[in-house]
Structure 1
Amino acid sequence: MMLRRARPALAILLGSLIGACSPLTTFNRLVPKDRGGELVARDLSYGPDARQRLDVYAPQGECGAPRPVVVFFYGGSWNSGTRRGYAFVGRALAARGFVTVIPDYRLVPKVRYPAFVEDGAAAVRWATEHAGTYCGDKRSIVLMGHSAGAYIAAMLAVDQRWLGNTRAAVKGLVGLAGPYDFAPFDVEASRAAFGQVPDPADTQPVTFAGAGDPPAMLLYGATDTVVLPRNSEALAARLRAGGVAVDSRAYPKLGHVGIVLALARPFRGRAPVLDDVSTFVRRVTHGIIATSVDTGQNEP
């Protein structure tokens, strides 16, 4: 009963924190922790900058067969955010059996595009080199992100410029409410991050998506007014045109914040985001590629 009463307050808190692009450490202290997943390494360096640090979450228990690795990039308009604020994501995914890496990355205005994508690539390369230390399978990596983080994950998955040979380890892409087709830059955050690029199309995932890209799960809230659903729809269409398997799902009751909120224990009843993501990660890392799906709803 107490948890049920606390849910509205938690939702308001998280919504205000994400909306203000603030660290979510208070939320993490309030949300019940998932059993079976734990923080196993923190403040690990993948580059020389103070923002080039990451944390690792892993399933509890002894290591058996190597586990799939999820690299999660948080959002924040490319100008804010911290990995510590998304510990609830790391614990949730680790409890489902995945070694989960959550990196920080350099932010606007200190840097502009492509620095945050380059940092994402460096974090993925770190995962391929070090995941085995935590019982992770360096050959089975899924890139995942929310909002601006989904943009980073998508660029790494579809644009061959960033990962080089490491891209072969990427078995799938999970995007939550990602901006994939947002040129011209008509809001301050995108102008600040990308406005200096001579050809805006060169920054868009839809420009590069096509044949040979990893399978994708593109999830979004039907009521999202921050990153419009057409972004996911456009990327899904481009991937399908290239013969790539895409699972595209709209959750009727979720908005931009709600889709990541649904990964936290108190709010999973709103939509099966965690279940859907977990099923997708298991399938693609075991070589089971589902045919393209576009339910438009939160069906399994």
Structure 2
Amino acid sequence: MSFPTFATFESLRRRRSAFLTAFTVTAAAVLSACSPVKVLNGLVPGDTYQFQGGIAYGQAPRQLLDVYQPLPSTQPARGSRPLVVFFFGGTWTNGDRASYKFVGEALAARGAVVVVPDYGLSPTFTYPVFVRDSALAVKWALDNAAQLGADPKQVYVMGHSSGGYNAAMVALDERWLAEVGASPRQLAGWIGLAGPYDFLPIGDPQAQAAFNWPDTPPDSQPLAHVTSASPRALLLAASKDNLVYPDRNTGRMAQALRAAGVPVQVRLYDNLSHVTLIGAFAKPIQWLGGPVLPPVMEFLGLASVPSDKAAR
């Protein structure tokens, strides 16, 4: 009887490492294109949440949202659940709510009510239309939180990339919620995933169009609106993000919040990219590169809430 040699084990280790590397690259490619994201969404469980789609939060064609609710048996109990309004990224130029089912499922399966709105996109619409749409969607969430089984005092805004900008502007710049009869003081917090918070001058052509560069007002930058009254924040980013630089954006935002006395948590991930930071919410690849979900769950007050469905 022969036993495996060290060389055999080493060969297996290398093959496993190569597989994981290849899978990581494939996952990044999947998450960077529209149709493969639909394939990824096809792998999301369908029995871990309840869904309502195409709800109007305004009168414009793009002012529609989807709602993901926990199952009745999921803790916390109805009425005490947090509600998260999630804004997708896409340089304010592309994206749609249906592509982010994997985010809605990940949070709803763990006890949060999730609202994913569409909003006006460039070049048809430019700043501040997408911020106004975002504020109107948040107003809808605040007004309907109790009806959806959430606690109206536990409403959060969250976004990835340009969606992180939308979330930050709604949370920090009082103008936008004030226009619709609400206030950032009604928010329990905001979560930014690789968001651009300080990006003047604008170099990206798509962002230039979205913000009418060079006629972009300085107060279009979230960093300009940090005050001691700002909601607490959780900021996540890939440490080697080469699209939205973390030092300039996440780093400066964290510094400004701390200087204003606002509680802020920061997590940087060495093994994730700008794209896979949000992709790591998807159930098939939640293990990829870093624990993104745990700090979000902790921030929402759901870290210790059991969920048999979510653990499958």
TM-score range, shorter chain: 0.7 to 0.9
Residue of structure 1 aligned with 2:254, choices 201, 215, 236: 236
The structure that has the greater radius of gyration is 2
* Separation in structure 2 between the aligned mates of residue 93 and residue 174 of structure 1, nearest angstrom: 13
Count of equivalent residues: 278
Q: Which residue of 2 aligns with 1:195?
A: 212
Matches within 5 A, 1:191-270: 191-196=208-213, 198-230=215-247, 231-269=249-287, 270=289
Matches within 5 A, 1:1-300: 15-16=28-29, 18-20=31-33, 24-29=37-42, 31-33=43-45, 36=48, 38-61=49-72, 64-164=78-178, 165-196=182-213, 198-230=215-247, 231-269=249-287, 270-282=289-301
- Cα-to-partner distance string for 1:195-227 (whole Å, 9 max, x where unaligned): 347454211011111211011010000121111
Q: CA deviation at 1:131?
A: 2.1
Q: What is the percentage of aligned positions where both structures have the same residue? A: 41
Conserved 8 A contact 1:118-1:162: yes
* Separation in structure 1 between the aligned mates of residue 156 and residue 82 of structure 2, nearest angstrom: 8
Q: CA deviation at 1:23?
A: 8.1
- The residue type paired with residue 275 of structure 2 is V
Q: For 1:90, what is the secondary structure of its paired residue?
A: helix
- Cα-to-partner distance string for 1:43-102 (whole Å, 9 max, x where unaligned): 000111111100000110155333110000000000000111000000100011100000
Name the CA shift for 1:274/1:90 in 2 (closer, same or farther; >3 Å).
Answer: same
Gaps of 5+ in 2: 1-17, 304-312
Conserved 8 A contact 2:51-2:67: yes
Name the CA shift for 1:282/1:51 in 2 (closer, same or farther; >3 Å).
Answer: same
Q: CA deviation at 1:138?
A: 2.0
* Separation in structure 2 between the aligned mates of residue 227 and residue 196 of structure 1, nearest angstrom: 18
- Cα-to-partner distance string for 1:111-132 (whole Å, 9 max, x where unaligned): 0000000000000000011122
Name the CA shift for 1:217/1:201 in 2 (closer, same or farther; >3 Å).
Answer: same
RMSD: 2.4
Q: CA deviation at 1:139?
A: 2.3
- The residue type paired with residue 50 of structure 1 is P
Name the CA shift for 1:14/1:149 in 2 (closer, same or farther; >3 Å).
Answer: farther
* Separation in structure 2 between the aligned mates of residue 8 and residue 25 of structure 1, nearest angstrom: 22
- The residue type paired with residue 176 of structure 2 is W
* Separation in structure 2 between the aligned mates of residue 129 and residue 8 of structure 1, nearest angstrom: 45
Return 62-71 or 97-106, whichever deviates more: 62-71
* Separation in structure 2 between the aligned mates of residue 9 and residue 58 of structure 1, nearest angstrom: 35
- Cα-to-partner distance string for 1:135-188 (whole Å, 9 max, x where unaligned): 012221111000000000001111111112332221111000110011101110
Name the CA shift for 1:153/1:22 in 2 (closer, same or farther; >3 Å).
Answer: farther
* Separation in structure 1 between the aligned mates of residue 267 and residue 29 of structure 2, nearest angstrom: 25
Write out the 4+ residue segments of structure 1 that deviate beyond 4 Å after TM superposition.
5-14, 20-23
Name the CA shift for 1:7/1:266 in 2 (closer, same or farther; >3 Å).
Answer: farther
Q: TM-score, normalised by structure 1?
A: 0.86
- The residue type paired with residue 207 of structure 2 is S
Q: For 1:224, what is the secondary structure of its paired residue?
A: coil
* Separation in structure 2 between the aligned mates of residue 234 and residue 21 of structure 1, nearest angstrom: 31
* Separation in structure 2 between the aligned mates of residue 98 and residue 158 of structure 1, nearest angstrom: 23
Q: For 2:286, what is the secondary structure of its paired residue?
A: helix
* Separation in structure 2 between the aligned mates of residue 58 and residue 245 of structure 1, nearest angstrom: 28
Return 53-62 or 79-88, whichever deviates more: 53-62
Q: TM-score, normalised by structure 2?
A: 0.83
